Copies of this chain bind each other. A is one copy, B any other.
Amino acid sequence: METRELRYFVAVAEELHFGRAALRLGIAQPPLSRAIGQLERRLGVTLLERTSRTVALTEAGTVLLREGRAALDAVAAAERRTRRAALGAAELVLVTKAGASSELLPRLLDAYAAEPGSVAVDVVLCGIGQQEGLLRDGRADVALLHLPFDSTAGLDFEELGTERQVLVLPAGHPAAARESLTMAEAISVPGLPPPRWPGSDGPGPEIRDHAQLLQLIALGRASAVLPASVRSQLRPELTTVPVVDAPPVTTVIAWPPHSRSRPLALLIRTATRL
């Protein structure tokens, strides 16, 4: 199977429409129909059920969509990492959620920079849930993740530390006076609904990163249960209340398997020793 065929199939499978998929791919519709047909014939598998009005994935098509995306990511990662390796510009790209790990990250960067043999670290801040994608397709080398929110599926990782969670809310709110809260109480604070995380549907604005989230809380429009370390970066108008039964959050440093370059290994070792 060629990557071109995979790209074509993934486009059609995502659009469920040959015309739109062809447009997205920058080719005409007939060659696309033919390519998919050839792919199906070569695999001996029906990937799409199509009438002249609708296109639907078969069981096998669903599998190929998932696996094909992963394969395309792997190819893209190979290309990106090769290019970066050739630049000789030995540097690491570290990705973390904007607004998260604000306490740990500077310490890590300082400690790493002080190590002999360390290289430049490019810090990329991204939205929630995007880190794994960046690692998988080679745009990043290493990430700080927070279990159990982020998934380490397909990644190697080391635990860096665990912290309890607190409810973040405006200082003036009645609930701010409480000594502690339960999870049930925290998610039902009057007037301060929990934010809508990406992927979930529902009313209200969807937040994209921690900075947005804190702003939303400061506006008195939401509250959120977050790792205790956010306290170090809170503006004075925000306060926190411990949530006793919230699951503890584990910060981990994660990297793609089979990629422990020397600078990366050093960074990981530095992180675990903090």
Contacts and interface: CB of A to CB of B under 8 A. Distances in A.
A261 to B, nearest CB: 9
Given A82-B67, A156-B154, A3 B75 contact: yes
Nearest to A82: B64
Q: How large is the interface on A (under 10, 10 to 19, 20 to 34, 35 or more residues)?
A: 35 or more
A45 B83 contact: yes
A75 B44 contact: no
A43 B76 CA distance: 12
Interface in A231-263: 256-259
A61 B257 CA distance: 18
A114 interface: no
Contacts of A155: 154, 257
A2 B76 CA distance: 10
Nearest to A78: B67
A28 interface: no
Interface centre among A66, A75, A77, A81 (most CB of B within 10 A): A75
A106 interface: no
Contact of A2 (B2, B64, B74, B83): B2
Contact of A154 (B1, B62, B77, B257): B257
A53 interface: no
A79 interface: yes
B153 A156 contact: yes
Given A2-B3, A154-B154, A78 B64 contact: yes
Contacts of A62: 85
Given A4-B2, A59-B88, A86-B59, A74 B70 contact: yes
Enumerate the 6 nearest inter-chain pairs by beta-carbon distance, A residue then B residue, closest first.
Answer: A154-B257, A67-B78, A153-B257, A60-B86, A71-B74, A45-B86
Interface of A: 1-4, 6, 43-47, 58-64, 66-68, 70-71, 73-75, 77-79, 81-83, 85-86, 88, 138, 153-156, 256-259
